[in-house]
Structure 1
Amino acid sequence: MLNFQNNFSFNMLILNKLNNYMIMIMIMIMLFIIYIMTFIYLNLFTNKNLIENNIMEIIWTLIPMLIIIFIAFPSMKILYLNNEFKNNIFSIKIISNQWFWYYEYMNLNMKFNSYMMMKKNFNFNLMETDNSMIIPFNYFIQLIISSMDVIHSWTIPSMNIKLDSIPNQLNNMMMKTNKMGLI
Protein backbone atom coordinates (compact mmCIF):
# COMPACT_ATOMS: atom_id res chain seq x y z
CA MET A 1 0.00 0.00 0.00
CA LEU A 2 1.52 3.29 -1.08
CA ASN A 3 -0.88 5.65 0.66
CA PHE A 4 -2.05 6.55 4.13
CA GLN A 5 -5.61 6.35 5.45
CA ASN A 6 -8.25 8.63 3.99
CA ASN A 7 -7.37 12.12 5.17
CA PHE A 8 -9.66 14.12 7.43
CA SER A 9 -7.41 17.15 7.84
CA PHE A 10 -5.37 19.53 5.74
CA ASN A 11 -2.15 18.42 7.49
CA MET A 12 -2.77 14.81 6.53
CA LEU A 13 -3.49 15.82 2.92
CA ILE A 14 -0.13 17.63 2.72
CA LEU A 15 1.65 14.70 4.38
CA ASN A 16 0.06 12.34 1.86
CA LYS A 17 1.34 14.50 -1.02
CA LEU A 18 4.83 14.54 0.53
CA ASN A 19 4.72 10.74 0.79
CA ASN A 20 3.80 10.45 -2.89
CA TYR A 21 6.59 12.90 -3.79
CA MET A 22 9.16 10.86 -1.83
CA ILE A 23 8.00 7.63 -3.45
CA MET A 24 8.36 9.24 -6.89
CA ILE A 25 11.94 10.28 -6.07
CA MET A 26 12.78 6.80 -4.77
CA ILE A 27 11.36 5.14 -7.91
CA MET A 28 13.37 7.49 -10.14
CA ILE A 29 16.57 6.69 -8.21
CA MET A 30 15.84 2.97 -8.35
CA LEU A 31 15.21 3.05 -12.13
CA PHE A 32 18.39 5.07 -12.69
CA ILE A 33 20.46 2.58 -10.66
CA ILE A 34 18.92 -0.38 -12.51
CA TYR A 35 19.70 1.31 -15.83
CA ILE A 36 23.34 2.00 -14.87
CA MET A 37 23.85 -1.51 -13.49
CA THR A 38 22.36 -3.06 -16.61
CA PHE A 39 24.50 -0.87 -18.85
CA ILE A 40 27.69 -1.76 -16.96
CA TYR A 41 26.82 -5.45 -16.87
CA LEU A 42 26.00 -5.68 -20.58
CA ASN A 43 28.90 -3.50 -21.68
CA LEU A 44 31.81 -5.68 -22.76
CA PHE A 45 34.29 -2.83 -22.90
CA THR A 46 35.52 -1.17 -19.75
CA ASN A 47 36.54 2.44 -19.78
CA LYS A 48 39.40 3.43 -17.49
CA ASN A 49 38.18 7.06 -17.48
CA LEU A 50 34.91 5.90 -15.92
CA ILE A 51 36.80 4.32 -13.03
CA GLU A 52 39.28 7.15 -12.40
CA ASN A 53 37.55 10.40 -13.23
CA ASN A 54 37.46 13.49 -10.98
CA ILE A 55 34.42 14.99 -12.70
CA MET A 56 32.50 11.76 -12.19
CA GLU A 57 33.37 11.77 -8.47
CA ILE A 58 32.16 15.36 -8.15
CA ILE A 59 28.90 14.47 -9.90
CA TRP A 60 28.13 11.47 -7.70
CA THR A 61 28.86 13.59 -4.66
CA LEU A 62 26.63 16.48 -5.79
CA ILE A 63 23.65 14.36 -6.90
CA PRO A 64 22.91 12.92 -3.40
CA MET A 65 23.23 16.44 -1.97
CA LEU A 66 20.67 17.73 -4.48
CA ILE A 67 18.33 14.82 -3.71
CA ILE A 68 18.53 15.60 0.01
CA ILE A 69 17.75 19.27 -0.71
CA PHE A 70 14.74 18.29 -2.87
CA ILE A 71 13.48 16.17 0.03
CA ALA A 72 14.37 18.59 2.85
CA PHE A 73 12.57 21.73 1.67
CA PRO A 74 9.06 20.22 1.39
CA SER A 75 9.62 18.32 4.65
CA MET A 76 10.59 21.49 6.54
CA LYS A 77 7.60 23.36 5.12
CA ILE A 78 5.22 20.63 6.32
CA LEU A 79 6.94 20.51 9.71
CA TYR A 80 6.30 24.23 10.23
CA LEU A 81 2.72 23.99 8.92
CA ASN A 82 1.95 21.24 11.44
CA ASN A 83 3.26 23.32 14.35
CA GLU A 84 1.55 26.55 13.38
CA PHE A 85 -0.90 27.77 16.04
CA LYS A 86 -4.08 29.45 14.91
CA ASN A 87 -6.87 31.14 16.84
CA ASN A 88 -8.76 28.28 18.36
CA ILE A 89 -12.48 28.25 19.09
CA PHE A 90 -12.61 25.05 21.13
CA SER A 91 -10.26 23.54 23.67
CA ILE A 92 -10.53 19.87 24.54
CA LYS A 93 -8.70 18.56 27.59
CA ILE A 94 -7.85 14.86 27.39
CA ILE A 95 -6.63 12.98 30.46
CA SER A 96 -5.55 9.36 30.22
CA ASN A 97 -6.09 6.84 32.96
CA GLN A 98 -5.16 3.18 33.25
CA TRP A 99 -8.25 1.85 31.44
CA PHE A 100 -10.14 4.87 30.11
CA TRP A 101 -9.87 8.41 28.71
CA TYR A 102 -11.42 11.49 30.30
CA TYR A 103 -12.56 14.26 27.93
CA GLU A 104 -13.49 17.80 28.88
CA TYR A 105 -14.77 20.37 26.38
CA MET A 106 -13.62 23.48 28.17
CA ASN A 107 -15.75 25.98 26.20
CA LEU A 108 -18.94 23.91 26.46
CA ASN A 109 -18.57 22.82 30.10
CA MET A 110 -19.05 19.19 29.03
CA LYS A 111 -17.19 16.23 30.60
CA PHE A 112 -17.32 12.47 30.06
CA ASN A 113 -15.30 9.27 30.35
CA SER A 114 -14.62 6.99 27.40
CA TYR A 115 -14.10 3.25 27.93
CA MET A 116 -12.96 0.76 25.30
CA MET A 117 -15.63 -1.72 24.22
CA MET A 118 -14.44 -5.30 24.23
CA LYS A 119 -14.67 -7.64 21.23
CA LYS A 120 -18.02 -7.34 19.57
CA ASN A 121 -19.09 -6.93 15.97
CA PHE A 122 -18.00 -3.34 15.46
CA ASN A 123 -16.24 -1.71 12.55
CA PHE A 124 -13.12 -0.76 14.53
CA ASN A 125 -11.68 -3.82 16.25
CA LEU A 126 -10.62 -2.92 19.83
CA MET A 127 -10.79 0.78 18.96
CA GLU A 128 -14.49 1.32 19.55
CA THR A 129 -15.47 3.20 22.71
CA ASP A 130 -18.73 3.69 24.56
CA ASN A 131 -18.47 7.52 24.38
CA SER A 132 -16.56 8.77 21.36
CA MET A 133 -14.99 12.19 21.25
CA ILE A 134 -16.94 14.51 18.95
CA ILE A 135 -14.81 16.87 16.88
CA PRO A 136 -16.52 20.04 15.60
CA PHE A 137 -16.27 20.30 11.82
CA ASN A 138 -14.16 23.07 10.24
CA TYR A 139 -13.06 24.69 13.53
CA PHE A 140 -9.57 25.04 14.94
CA ILE A 141 -9.42 22.93 18.08
CA GLN A 142 -6.70 22.91 20.68
CA LEU A 143 -6.05 19.51 22.24
CA ILE A 144 -4.48 19.55 25.70
CA ILE A 145 -3.40 16.14 26.94
CA SER A 146 -1.92 14.73 30.13
CA SER A 147 -1.90 11.50 32.11
CA MET A 148 -2.89 10.47 35.61
CA ASP A 149 -0.69 7.38 35.90
CA VAL A 150 1.60 6.14 33.11
CA ILE A 151 2.56 7.17 29.58
CA HIS A 152 -0.22 6.65 27.02
CA SER A 153 -0.47 7.39 23.33
CA TRP A 154 -3.53 9.17 21.87
CA THR A 155 -3.84 9.12 18.10
CA ILE A 156 -6.05 9.84 15.11
CA PRO A 157 -4.06 8.44 12.15
CA SER A 158 -6.37 9.84 9.47
CA MET A 159 -5.70 13.36 10.77
CA ASN A 160 -1.94 12.96 11.29
CA ILE A 161 -2.32 13.36 15.05
CA LYS A 162 -0.39 11.47 17.69
CA LEU A 163 0.12 12.85 21.16
CA ASP A 164 1.89 11.24 24.07
CA SER A 165 0.11 11.55 27.37
CA ILE A 166 2.75 11.87 30.09
CA PRO A 167 2.12 12.31 33.84
CA ASN A 168 2.69 15.85 35.14
CA GLN A 169 3.24 17.23 31.66
CA LEU A 170 0.84 19.07 29.35
CA ASN A 171 1.17 18.41 25.63
CA ASN A 172 -0.93 20.31 23.14
CA MET A 173 -1.70 20.37 19.46
CA MET A 174 -3.97 22.25 17.08
CA MET A 175 -6.22 20.43 14.66
CA LYS A 176 -8.97 21.12 12.16
CA THR A 177 -11.12 18.62 10.27
CA ASN A 178 -11.96 19.20 6.63
CA LYS A 179 -14.33 16.24 6.22
CA MET A 180 -17.24 14.92 8.24
CA GLY A 181 -17.56 11.29 9.26
CA LEU A 182 -16.57 8.63 11.73
CA ILE A 183 -12.81 8.73 12.18
Structure 2
Amino acid sequence: MKNFKSKMLFYNIFLNSSSISISVMEEFHDYTMMFLSAIITFIMIVMFKILKNKMTNYKFKENMNLEIIWTMLPMLILLMIAYPSLYYLYLFDLMINPSMTIKVLGAQWYWIYENFDSNMGTSYSSYMTPDNELIKQEYYKMGWRLLETDTRLIVPYGTEIQCLTTSLDVIHSFSIPEMGIKIDAIPGRLNSIIFQVNKPGLFYGQCAEICGTGHSFMPICMEAI
Protein backbone atom coordinates (compact mmCIF):
# COMPACT_ATOMS: atom_id res chain seq x y z
CA MET A 1 0.00 0.00 0.00
CA LYS A 2 2.85 2.38 0.81
CA ASN A 3 4.56 1.66 -2.53
CA PHE A 4 1.29 2.26 -4.35
CA LYS A 5 0.84 5.67 -2.68
CA SER A 6 4.42 6.70 -3.50
CA LYS A 7 3.95 5.69 -7.15
CA MET A 8 0.72 7.67 -7.40
CA LEU A 9 2.41 10.68 -5.79
CA PHE A 10 5.27 10.44 -8.32
CA TYR A 11 2.72 10.16 -11.14
CA ASN A 12 0.82 13.19 -9.86
CA ILE A 13 3.97 15.35 -9.79
CA PHE A 14 5.49 14.22 -13.10
CA LEU A 15 2.53 13.84 -15.43
CA ASN A 16 3.04 12.10 -18.75
CA SER A 17 1.83 13.58 -22.02
CA SER A 18 -1.48 11.98 -22.95
CA SER A 19 -2.48 13.90 -26.07
CA ILE A 20 -0.95 15.05 -29.32
CA SER A 21 -1.18 18.70 -28.24
CA ILE A 22 0.91 18.35 -25.09
CA SER A 23 3.41 16.09 -26.90
CA VAL A 24 3.96 18.83 -29.49
CA MET A 25 4.33 21.41 -26.70
CA GLU A 26 6.99 19.30 -24.99
CA GLU A 27 8.82 18.82 -28.29
CA PHE A 28 8.81 22.57 -28.94
CA HIS A 29 9.96 23.21 -25.36
CA ASP A 30 12.96 20.88 -25.80
CA TYR A 31 13.74 22.46 -29.18
CA THR A 32 13.71 25.98 -27.69
CA MET A 33 15.75 24.95 -24.63
CA MET A 34 18.49 23.74 -26.96
CA PHE A 35 19.01 27.32 -28.20
CA LEU A 36 18.65 28.85 -24.74
CA SER A 37 21.19 26.47 -23.23
CA ALA A 38 23.72 27.25 -25.98
CA ILE A 39 23.22 31.01 -25.57
CA ILE A 40 23.53 30.93 -21.77
CA THR A 41 26.64 28.73 -21.98
CA PHE A 42 28.30 31.07 -24.47
CA ILE A 43 27.49 34.16 -22.39
CA MET A 44 28.80 32.55 -19.19
CA ILE A 45 32.05 31.57 -20.91
CA VAL A 46 32.56 35.10 -22.26
CA MET A 47 31.77 36.68 -18.88
CA PHE A 48 34.11 34.28 -17.09
CA LYS A 49 36.97 35.07 -19.49
CA ILE A 50 36.38 38.84 -19.19
CA LEU A 51 36.36 38.70 -15.38
CA LYS A 52 39.37 36.40 -15.21
CA ASN A 53 41.53 38.35 -17.67
CA LYS A 54 42.68 41.78 -16.47
CA MET A 55 43.85 42.78 -19.94
CA THR A 56 41.55 44.53 -22.41
CA ASN A 57 41.16 43.31 -25.99
CA TYR A 58 40.21 46.32 -28.10
CA LYS A 59 39.87 44.18 -31.23
CA PHE A 60 37.14 42.23 -29.48
CA LYS A 61 35.24 45.32 -28.35
CA GLU A 62 35.57 47.26 -31.59
CA ASN A 63 35.29 44.64 -34.31
CA MET A 64 32.89 45.27 -37.20
CA ASN A 65 32.76 41.60 -38.21
CA LEU A 66 31.76 40.56 -34.69
CA GLU A 67 29.12 43.31 -34.63
CA ILE A 68 27.59 41.89 -37.81
CA ILE A 69 27.74 38.30 -36.52
CA TRP A 70 26.06 38.94 -33.18
CA THR A 71 23.42 41.08 -34.90
CA MET A 72 22.55 38.54 -37.61
CA LEU A 73 22.89 35.41 -35.47
CA PRO A 74 20.11 36.36 -32.97
CA MET A 75 17.85 37.21 -35.91
CA LEU A 76 18.49 33.76 -37.38
CA ILE A 77 17.82 32.07 -34.01
CA LEU A 78 14.56 34.00 -33.57
CA LEU A 79 13.42 32.95 -37.03
CA MET A 80 14.24 29.30 -36.25
CA ILE A 81 12.13 29.56 -33.09
CA ALA A 82 9.30 31.63 -34.60
CA TYR A 83 8.59 29.33 -37.56
CA PRO A 84 7.76 26.15 -35.57
CA SER A 85 5.95 28.28 -32.98
CA LEU A 86 3.59 29.73 -35.59
CA TYR A 87 3.28 26.35 -37.29
CA TYR A 88 2.22 24.58 -34.09
CA LEU A 89 -0.10 27.48 -33.19
CA TYR A 90 -1.89 27.02 -36.51
CA LEU A 91 -1.87 23.25 -36.07
CA PHE A 92 -3.68 23.48 -32.72
CA ASP A 93 -6.56 25.38 -34.36
CA LEU A 94 -6.77 23.02 -37.34
CA MET A 95 -9.92 20.92 -37.29
CA ILE A 96 -10.02 18.06 -39.81
CA ASN A 97 -12.83 15.67 -38.92
CA PRO A 98 -13.88 15.66 -35.24
CA SER A 99 -15.80 12.54 -34.32
CA MET A 100 -17.31 14.11 -31.22
CA THR A 101 -18.31 17.61 -30.07
CA ILE A 102 -18.50 18.51 -26.39
CA LYS A 103 -19.88 21.74 -25.00
CA VAL A 104 -18.55 22.77 -21.58
CA LEU A 105 -20.38 25.41 -19.55
CA GLY A 106 -18.76 26.91 -16.48
CA ALA A 107 -20.94 27.92 -13.54
CA GLN A 108 -20.41 28.95 -9.92
CA TRP A 109 -19.05 26.48 -8.97
CA TYR A 110 -19.47 23.38 -11.11
CA TRP A 111 -19.26 22.29 -14.73
CA ILE A 112 -22.03 21.39 -17.17
CA TYR A 113 -21.20 19.02 -20.03
CA GLU A 114 -23.26 18.62 -23.18
CA ASN A 115 -22.44 15.82 -25.63
CA PHE A 116 -23.65 16.37 -29.18
CA ASP A 117 -24.31 13.33 -31.35
CA SER A 118 -26.01 12.75 -34.66
CA ASN A 119 -28.83 10.88 -32.91
CA MET A 120 -29.16 12.45 -29.48
CA GLY A 121 -27.56 14.91 -27.09
CA THR A 122 -27.09 14.60 -23.36
CA SER A 123 -26.45 17.23 -20.69
CA TYR A 124 -25.26 16.65 -17.13
CA SER A 125 -23.65 18.58 -14.28
CA SER A 126 -20.39 17.70 -12.55
CA TYR A 127 -19.74 18.62 -8.90
CA MET A 128 -16.73 17.95 -6.69
CA THR A 129 -17.12 14.84 -4.53
CA PRO A 130 -17.20 15.91 -0.83
CA ASP A 131 -14.70 14.37 1.58
CA ASN A 132 -17.37 12.60 3.62
CA GLU A 133 -18.58 10.77 0.50
CA LEU A 134 -15.07 10.13 -0.83
CA ILE A 135 -13.87 8.24 2.26
CA LYS A 136 -16.91 5.95 2.16
CA GLN A 137 -15.86 4.53 -1.22
CA GLU A 138 -13.57 1.56 -1.69
CA TYR A 139 -9.88 2.41 -1.86
CA TYR A 140 -9.40 1.71 -5.57
CA LYS A 141 -12.44 3.87 -6.36
CA MET A 142 -11.52 6.69 -4.01
CA GLY A 143 -9.69 8.97 -6.46
CA TRP A 144 -7.94 12.21 -5.58
CA ARG A 145 -9.23 14.55 -2.89
CA LEU A 146 -10.57 17.86 -4.28
CA LEU A 147 -10.19 16.46 -7.83
CA GLU A 148 -12.74 13.63 -7.97
CA THR A 149 -16.23 14.50 -9.24
CA ASP A 150 -19.58 12.82 -8.89
CA THR A 151 -20.00 12.72 -12.69
CA ARG A 152 -17.07 12.33 -15.09
CA LEU A 153 -16.69 13.70 -18.59
CA ILE A 154 -16.61 10.58 -20.80
CA VAL A 155 -14.70 10.80 -24.10
CA PRO A 156 -13.33 8.20 -26.54
CA TYR A 157 -9.58 7.93 -26.91
CA GLY A 158 -7.78 7.81 -30.25
CA THR A 159 -10.25 10.14 -31.96
CA GLU A 160 -10.37 13.87 -32.66
CA ILE A 161 -12.65 15.74 -30.25
CA GLN A 162 -13.91 19.30 -30.48
CA CYS A 163 -14.53 21.12 -27.20
CA LEU A 164 -16.68 24.27 -27.08
CA THR A 165 -16.61 26.36 -23.91
CA THR A 166 -18.72 29.18 -22.54
CA SER A 167 -19.93 30.40 -19.15
CA LEU A 168 -23.25 31.01 -17.44
CA ASP A 169 -22.05 33.74 -15.04
CA VAL A 170 -18.40 34.86 -14.69
CA ILE A 171 -15.19 33.98 -16.52
CA HIS A 172 -13.96 30.42 -15.91
CA SER A 173 -11.12 28.45 -17.49
CA PHE A 174 -11.37 24.79 -18.53
CA SER A 175 -7.91 23.34 -17.90
CA ILE A 176 -6.53 19.78 -17.99
CA PRO A 177 -2.69 20.02 -17.82
CA GLU A 178 -2.00 16.40 -18.78
CA MET A 179 -3.95 16.92 -22.01
CA GLY A 180 -2.50 20.33 -22.80
CA ILE A 181 -5.99 21.88 -22.60
CA LYS A 182 -6.54 25.38 -21.24
CA ILE A 183 -9.36 27.42 -22.71
CA ASP A 184 -11.34 30.29 -21.20
CA ALA A 185 -15.09 30.02 -20.65
CA ILE A 186 -16.42 33.55 -21.18
CA PRO A 187 -20.10 34.58 -20.86
CA GLY A 188 -21.64 35.33 -24.24
CA ARG A 189 -18.67 33.90 -26.16
CA LEU A 190 -18.07 30.42 -27.57
CA ASN A 191 -14.41 29.30 -27.63
CA SER A 192 -13.24 26.14 -29.36
CA ILE A 193 -10.30 23.76 -28.96
CA ILE A 194 -9.37 20.46 -30.60
CA PHE A 195 -7.68 17.59 -28.76
CA GLN A 196 -7.07 13.88 -29.14
CA VAL A 197 -6.50 11.50 -26.23
CA ASN A 198 -3.72 8.95 -26.84
CA LYS A 199 -4.62 6.42 -24.15
CA PRO A 200 -7.51 5.43 -21.90
CA GLY A 201 -7.54 6.55 -18.28
CA LEU A 202 -8.49 9.33 -15.88
CA PHE A 203 -7.29 12.89 -16.40
CA TYR A 204 -7.79 15.60 -13.80
CA GLY A 205 -7.95 19.35 -14.09
CA GLN A 206 -9.30 22.45 -12.39
CA CYS A 207 -10.68 25.87 -13.16
CA ALA A 208 -7.67 28.06 -14.00
CA GLU A 209 -9.39 31.43 -13.65
CA ILE A 210 -10.26 32.93 -10.26
CA CYS A 211 -14.06 32.93 -10.34
CA GLY A 212 -15.14 33.46 -6.73
CA THR A 213 -15.05 31.79 -3.34
CA GLY A 214 -15.70 28.32 -4.79
CA HIS A 215 -12.97 28.58 -7.40
CA SER A 216 -10.83 25.90 -5.74
CA PHE A 217 -13.73 23.46 -5.56
CA MET A 218 -14.79 23.00 -9.20
CA PRO A 219 -12.47 20.25 -10.46
CA ILE A 220 -12.54 18.48 -13.82
CA CYS A 221 -12.42 14.71 -14.13
CA MET A 222 -12.25 13.34 -17.67
CA GLU A 223 -12.32 9.62 -18.39
CA ALA A 224 -11.12 8.33 -21.77
CA ILE A 225 -12.59 4.97 -22.72
The TM-score, its normalising length taken from structure 1, stands at 0.90
CA deviation string 1:34-79 (max 9, x = no partner): 1112222233432211121211111111121122112111211111
Which aligned runs of 4 or more in structure 1 are off by greater than 6 angstroms?
none
Indicate the structure whose relative CO is greater, using CA pairs within 8 Å and at least 6 residues apart.
1
Amino acid at match of 1:114: S
Say whether 1:154 aligns with 2:174: yes
Name whichever of 28-37 and 102-111 sits farther off. Answer: 102-111
Which residue is 1:110 aligned to? 122
CA deviation string 1:79-136 (max 9, x = no partner): 1111111111111111111121111111152221100124456553422211110121
Per the alignment, in what secondary structure is the counterpart of residue 94 of structure 1?
strand
Which residue is 1:33 aligned to? 43
Q: Which whole-Å CA distance do the structure 2 matches of 1:161 and 1:137 have between them?
A: 15
Q: Which whole-Å CA distance do the structure 2 matches of 1:25 and 1:88 have between them?
A: 36
Per the alignment, in what secondary structure is the counterpart of residue 158 of structure 2?
coil
1:147 CA displacement? 0.9
Work out the percentage of aligned pairs sharing the same amino acid: 39
Per the alignment, in what secondary structure is the counterpart of residue 98 of structure 2?
coil
1:1-183 matched pairs, under 5 angstroms: 5-107=15-117, 108-119=120-131, 123-183=143-203
1:4 CA displacement? 7.2
Per the alignment, in what secondary structure is the counterpart of residue 179 of structure 1?
coil
Q: CA 1:20 to 1:124, structure 2 compared with 1: closer, same or farther past 3 Å?
A: farther
**Which ranges of structure 1 fall in alignment gaps of 5 or more residues?**
none
**Which ranges of structure 2 fall in alignment gaps of 5 or more residues?**
1-12, 136-141, 204-225
Per the alignment, in what secondary structure is the counterpart of residue 102 of structure 2?
strand
**Does the 8 A contact of 1:86 with 1:174 survive in 2?**
no
Aligned residues: 181
Higher strand share: 2
Amino acid at match of 2:101: S
